[in-house]
Amino acid sequence: MGSGTSMASEDHDRARQAVEAGEVLPLRTILERVDREYPGQVVDVELERERESSQERWVYKIKLLRSGGALMKLKVDARDGSIIGKKAAGGHEREREQQRNRRGGEDH
């Protein structure tokens, strides 16, 4: 088993190779897209290879500190930059949006 530094270096090399091979968009591009829709301060980013069913894909996992101090976690498809999951500190953002829509407007 390698040291943490060695493993981090391997992860960095693997991510760099994926960008160079065109398998993933560069982090800068992803962060620019995310910032347009979800402005805030990035506090953590991970690039991971995920397996769903029989398919594998690269995913950026991004933690943002939003205005007012709310923490948001985004899951972004690294190939095209689309948001494939989001979660606010208090629960799933998508669920909140659906609840607002059912009530016909803003939370009060």
Question: What's the fold here for domain 4-103?
Answer: Nuclear Transport Factor 2; Chain: A, (3.10.450)
Please determine, for residue 90, whether its predicted confidence score (pLDDT) is greater than 90. no
Q: How far apart are CA 61 and CA 85, in angstroms?
A: 9
Q: What is the mean pLDDT of the chain?
A: 81
Tens-place pLDDT, residues 12-30? 788 888 889 999 999 999 9
Q: What is the pLDDT of residues 51-82, one digit of tens each?
A: 888 888 999 999 999 988 899 999 999 999 99
Give domain limits for the chain.
4-103
Contacts of 20 (CB under 8 A, 6+ apart): none
Residue 94 has pLDDT above 50, yes or no: no
pLDDT at residue 89 greater than cutoff 50: yes
